[in-house]
Amino acid sequence: MPATFRQRFLSGERLLGTLLSIPSGAVAEILADTGFDWLFVDAEHGPLEVTELQTILQVVSRRVACLVRVPSQNEIPIKRALDLGAAGIIVPQVNTASEAERIVQLSRYAPLGARGVGIARASGYGLNLKPYVATANDTTTLVVQAEDIRAVENIEAIVKVPGVDGVLVGPYDLSASMGLMGQIDHPDVVAAIDRVTEVCQAADMKLGIFGVTSDSIAPYRDRGFTLLVAGVDTIVLGHGAAELLQQMKS
């Protein structure tokens, strides 16, 4: 039986993904067929309604793992993303251990948590409810984002929370929280990321990072970061169109 995405992630395999924000099954299908290990489905900043999220997952989640970045730490978006069949969730702005503990409660079934049980796509619309509930805790990936200086300050406590599988660094929001908007190469921002890196690696917590370009995440590939996401669908589309136009003009 093939390894689940969570098994691959926890084993330390390097997993390459890109960010999907356009509410289109066609765009998701194109990206899935490109060969990425996973798709970062952005329901926080992207204009994805729940029906659009369901369409995307219906189209591609059986061919490529989809981790959904939920729009908040509230119960409903977490429950919906998992019930729709996401391989896991990425939760933004997790700045304290208590926040991480609550997220575990919302995303893991008892006895590890208190996730609500409902009939939805993930359980075959209820036809496979018992086996799904029995295995979901083992197959659902839970990643919290360290993207605020408060998360950096509290990272030792966050990584000790049982049920958290990984930490994904958000350099852009982190820089903004430090009064250094967009200066992701500033020494203070780099030092903050270094601190998260050291603490996570000491705790054997898996690490990920987002970058707009592959070059921006390249330094972290050799530092033990394994959940790597580069590019945004809108930017890839825009750059591709601009390059094509330039070629047509030349």
How far, in Å, CA of 32 to CA of 194, rounded? 32
Confidence band, pLDDT 50/70/90 cuts, at residue 242: very high
3-state helix, strand, coil in the chain (%, to 5): 45, 15, 35
pLDDT in tens, 130-185: 999 999 999 999 999 999 999 999 999 999 999 999 999 999 999 999 999 999 99
**Spatial CA neighbour of 147 closest among 196, 114, 220, 113:** 196
Write down all domains in the chain, each with its CATH number in brackets: 5-249 (3.20.20.60)
How far, in Å, CA of 115 to CA of 195, rounded? 32
pLDDT in tens, 206-236: 999 999 999 999 999 999 999 999 999 999 9
Catalytic annotation, residues: 45
How far, in Å, CA of 104 to CA of 162, rounded? 8
DSSP string, 196-232: HHHHHHHTT-EEEEEESSHHHHHHHHTTT--EEEEEE
By the 8 A CB rule, do 48 and 18 touch? no
The DSSP call for residue 173 is H
- pLDDT computed for residue 76 by the predictor: 98
pLDDT in tens, 58-70: 999 999 999 999 9
- What amino acid occupies position 160? K
Burial class (CB in 10 A: 0-12, 13-18, 19+), 19: buried
pTM score of the predicted model: 0.96
How far, in Å, CA of 27 to CA of 41, rounded? 11
